[in-house]
Amino acid sequence: MLPLLLVALLGVSLAACGGGASEPKAGSSSAASTELDPNATIRYATLPPAAIDPHRTTCACEIVHLGPVYETLVARDAGGRPVPGLAKSWEFSADGKTLTFHLQDGVTFHDGSPFNAEAVKANLDRALTLPESTVKGDLAAIEGVNAIDERTVQLNLKEPGASLPLILSNIAGMMVSPAALKSADLNTTMVGTGPYKLTTHETGRRMVFERFDGYWDSAKAAKAARIELMLNSDSTATFNALRSGQLDIASILPNEAKNAESLGFTIKATGGLGYYHLHLNRSLPPFDNVKVRQAMNFAIDRQAIFNALGFGFGGPTTEPFPPGYWAYSEEAANLYGYDPGKAKALLAEAGFNGNLAFDVIVPATPGSVKIAEAVKSQLGAIGVTVNINTVEGTQFAPTFFGGKTTIPVGILQWTGRPEARQTFSQLFTSQGYGNPGRHTTPEVEKLLAEANKPQESQDAEAKAVQAVTRQLMEQALDVPIYYYTAPLAYTGKVVGMEPWISGYINLRDLGLTTKG
């Protein structure tokens, strides 16, 4: 049974999910009834990517930079279900241990190389074996990849992998030209099958994509001639560029939304699967102690932090998923209320009586820094000392997740994934890149293995996944604070604005009208 993602996320109208590189949209603006400008340049501002090699990415946000060029083996429909992408169909064996893909015909990479079974094998082999691969944890169920013939690929699995189709609709399923895998510097260039090709890359400053005339699917061909990304970490500069007409679209801060709307921009709340949290290295003291982890969950006044910093975009949460999402556990939601007295008692049981102190590392972005300051204040009220260390946003992941620091806590946003089990594998298993100490528990591993098996129904699948959510929060493997929906501001000329549920903009489906 393939999983169904429920997208009724607190009234936020969303018509597409996650980070797949090709997703049909429901309710998006109709290009058929709007005169599009075929020579248009779409201008958008976003953070610089830490990497543009799909197997070295460190943030789901990099789907924005990769999506115009790289397509995924599987796509998703408006309800979040897996649908054909570069693979036109697939099936599991009866025991769930073999997954066979049948590939689209007539697809070529931007360098003229054919897309075929050998290309899929080359990509998945590299994703699994590259020492610094950040997606190997997502693909851990794969034991081997066989190219059966030109259009058929077989994945042999160590264990049932019901989540793999949706995992392969995200960055882990992006297909790079095999020739480029061997010879190109994929940190500076991109060679995919998508409707746009990368023509300019000024690292840390600017990326330009131009329409690829040899694109294989005429129904999804590029609607604009060019996409220009302004790479910028300064939210004030981004807002000023939007206001002055230098941008068509911008991701803005929640506190800027009313101002942008008053200036005539359309505001769309996006996402819902991302959340801010205390990201614990559970292999380091004091967070190798479950009572300390539980104390942190009781000590945080999530509602107060959200009221101060969320500006209505999202809501407080005590688990990694928002209410209404299929992996959300009602039982986990009731484990931790704000109870500083309980937090102090747990710390005392763990041997800390007003003498606990630790460092946190935070990306130097306004949201994360302000949350870190709020956490520091709240923990200070129960006698815990927190020292805040900031790093440049692009350096956070290689520092904290890459083992370059002994700081035991990061305060940041997890940007969500299209498949709940992908969040589990990244954050809470021994192979997850987003698990800095690679700490896990036998109970979580056992329940996750069960949740990865094909289930009799979507309801049974949801219950199996919710059991993982409940268990990881009982063990306090995470300290969620609030989930967020991020505002996008754009002009009236933009057509096709239906962001993914992760909150990231799907640039490849956008166009600009000739008037507006």
pLDDT tens for 126-157 read 999 999 999 998 898 999 999 999 999 999 99
Question: Would you list the domain boundaries of the chain?
Answer: 31-248+491-512, 273-485
Instruction: Find the farthest-apart pair of alpha carbons in the chain and give their distance in angstroms, rounded.
Output: 68
Q: How far apart are CA 54 and CA 105, in angstroms?
A: 23
List the chain residues with pLDDT less than 70. Answer: 1-33, 78-80, 501-503, 516
Q: What is the pLDDT of residue 501?
A: 64
Contact (CB, 8 A) for 303 and 316: yes
Tokens of 272: 């819902």
Q: What is the pLDDT of residue 2?
A: 33
Q: What is the pLDDT of residue 1?
A: 34
Query: Residues 428, 281, 274, 471: what is their CA dihedral angle, to the nearest 10 degrees?
Result: 40
* Residue type, position 141, single letter: A
Q: What is the pLDDT of residue 78?
A: 61
* pTM exceeds cut of 0.85: no
Burial of 329 (0-12, 13-18, 19+ CB in 10 A): buried
Confirm whether 31-248+491-512 and 273-485 share one CATH topology: no
Q: What is the pLDDT of residue 272?
A: 81
Query: Helices marked H in 151-253 — which ranges?
Result: 164-167, 178-183, 235-243
Cα-based distances in Å from 76 to 86, 96, 168, 367, 420? 12, 21, 10, 30, 15
Q: Which fold has domain 31-248+491-512?
A: D-Maltodextrin-Binding Protein; domain 2 (3.40.190)
Contacts of 124 (CB under 8 A, 6+ apart): 139, 142, 145, 155
Q: Which of 167, 141, 166 is nearest to 156 (CA)?
A: 141
Helices and strands (H and E) in the chain: how many:
15, 19
Superfamily holding 273-485:
Dipeptide-binding Protein; Domain 3 (3.10.105.10)
Contacts of 184 (CB under 8 A, 6+ apart): 177, 191
Q: How far apart are CA 466 and CA 462, in angstroms?
A: 6
